Structure 1
Amino acid sequence: MTNPKPLSDRLSVTPQIDPAAMQALADAGYRAIISNRPDGEEPGQPDWATIERAARDAGMEACHIPVAPGALTDDKVAEFGDALHQLPAPIVGFCRTGMRAASLWALSNPDEQSPETLIATAAEAGYDLSALRHRLAKA
């Protein structure tokens, strides 16, 4: 099973989720997923329709906010922040490695934490967001 890393009480992040692991995530108590992978990003990647169906079959809500690597626009950050507030928690966010999901969480800053706290929290989960320090300071 996927091993989500917690960033907050509401959100954990992980690399790509196998649709076959969705029931195990639901059994572990997760109530929703947010996918940040565009369809077709790499060969063999499950498409959004398959992931969404697996999540719903497992009794979870599902949200797709596709973000190309390096394209963390303000609109996508706001959309991610809205999803964090609207979906039932706990939530698993994922992309190819989990980095985009962690970055979107930090940039949306749902708990209004300092850039240092956001970067340290992500580092504890295995994600280096130090390159976002300047942008996080403006958020």
Structure 2
Amino acid sequence: MWPFSSNAGAGLRYRKIDPAFAVAGQISPEDVQKVAEAGFKTIVCARPDNEEPGQPRFAAIAAAARQAGLQAVHIPVSGGIGEGQLIRMEEALNTLPSPMFGYCRSGARAGSLFTAAKSALG
């Protein structure tokens, strides 16, 4: 199912920003199977836990990812992207399978994190 569309499957909306990376707003554990069915191999969460009331915690997303056969990594960004976050994203790009599905509240931080890390990697 690659290349991705901006709306794959019922209820799963995302935007492809690179052949290996797509972004979306907050997902739920119930959405993770749809992420897997769309062909993604890794979920990247750029959203800190407890940013908003009722937001699913990363641990719940990660558990659902394991059940769906996906990798998951939490690289929370609450303001600007720091060196530590950039290093962790570079490591994820170098070691985890793609294509990757990044999310945060709107998808913007996940996209910025990917773009910064890809640029740093050259």
TM-score normalised by L of structure 1: 0.74
Paired-residue identity, %: 40
1:77 corresponds in structure 2 to: 86
Tell me the amino acid that sits aligned with residue 43 of structure 1.
P
1:5 corresponds in structure 2 to: 15
Q: Establish whether residue 100 from structure 1 lines up as the match of residue 109 from structure 2.
A: yes
1:33 corresponds in structure 2 to: 43
Ranges in structure 2 where 5+ consecutive residues have no aligned partner: 1-10
Tell me the amino acid that sits aligned with residue 6 of structure 1.
K
Which of 1 and 2 has higher RCO (CA within 8 Å, sep 6+)?
A: 2
Structure (1 or 2) with the greater helix fraction: 1
Q: Establish whether residue 88 from structure 1 lines up as the match of residue 87 from structure 2.
A: no
Report if the CA contact (8 A) 1:77-1:108 is conserved.
Answer: yes
Secondary structure in 2 aligned to 1:67? Answer: coil
Report if the CA contact (8 A) 1:5-1:12 is conserved.
Answer: yes
TM-score normalised by L of structure 2: 0.84
2:5 corresponds in structure 1 to: none
Out of 40, 52, 59, the position equivalent to 1:49 is: 59
CA-to-aligned-CA distance 1:11-52 (integer Å, 9 cap, x gap):
111111111011111011111101011110000000111110
Shift, 1:109, TM fit: 2.4
1:133 corresponds in structure 2 to: none
Aligned residues: 111
